[in-house]
Amino acid sequence: MTSKVVREILRETEARLSVHPPTADRMKVGDPRDLPARAASLRARGLSPIIAEIKPRILDRSLKAEEVAVIARRYEADGACAVSVLTQPTYFMGSPQNARVARKASSLPILRKDFILVEGQLDEVACDLVLLIAAFSEDLDGLVEAAKSRGMEPLVEVHTEEELIATLKTSTRVVGINNRNLSTLEVSLDTFERLGPVAKGSGLFVVAESGIMTREDVVRMEEAGADALLVGTSLMREPAFLPILNGAAHP
């Protein structure tokens, strides 16, 4: 059972697809940027790999293209591992255009975050990684393969052990473990501490998502097996916080 907010977002996504079906033009990313490689280079410098998110909802307004570019460049300058871009237009106030702008402004891997329900949505914008939420994917393996065929790295997001088991049956190499409960929207870092070691032991590149607010949280997630950490809310409120989170500076 999902929360009312999540159900509303899913209904809105389905309605939008019925009015504006995805284009028939197949997307192909010719020069995908590698998230695990970027993470490894940061770790070699003693930094924690932070996927910094562009999340307009936190500012309660949509962003101009110039603002998106400035944020993406700031994240790269401050040592981010990648840039996550919310493209869901209503609740999260994002757009596919934001992903295009961020990828042009930065040399970092760009992760598109949205509610991808059908393969055609993959052709809306070129990105290096695309979020696939296991709970909402009727054909998860099919979406994983479809993303890979377009040169995009699928980052499969899971919230439960059952979803992780299903993900392990696909060919994805990147999994995100979200600490937010889809039913209550409550956040507990215990979720990653329970599922992270399982994913890590299966040979996946593991991303910790949600609820990471302090340097102590970063260390806690890394000790549980996180290869990278996705942070949105705190960085949108204070971008200068990134060097503290990744260990480049101290509070």
Catalytic residue status for 246: no
Residues 6+ apart with CB under 8 A from 45: none
Can you tell me the distance from the alpha carbon of 171 to that of 169, in angstroms, rounded to the nearest whole number? Answer: 7
Catalytic residue among 48, 98, 210, 246: 210
Catalytic residue among 48, 55, 84, 98: 55
Catalytic residue status for 210: yes
Alpha helix segments (H runs only) across 20-139: 35-44, 65-77, 96-105
Catalytic residue status for 202: no
Catalytic residue among 113, 124, 153, 222: 113
Catalytic residue status for 53: yes
Catalytic residue among 48, 53, 95, 98: 53
3-state secondary structure 42-60: HHHCCCCCEEEEECHHHHC
Catalytic residue among 95, 98, 106, 178: 178
Catalytic residue status for 162: no
The closest of 130, 68, 121, 119 to 93, measured between CA atoms, is 68
Catalytic residue status for 178: yes
Catalytic residue among 124, 193, 209, 222: 209
Catalytic residue status for 14: no
**Concatenated DSSP letters for 174-217?**
EEEEE-B-TTT--B-THHHHHHHHHHHHTT-EEEEES---SHHH
Catalytic residue among 76, 153, 157, 222: 157
Active site residues: 53, 55, 113, 157, 178, 209-210
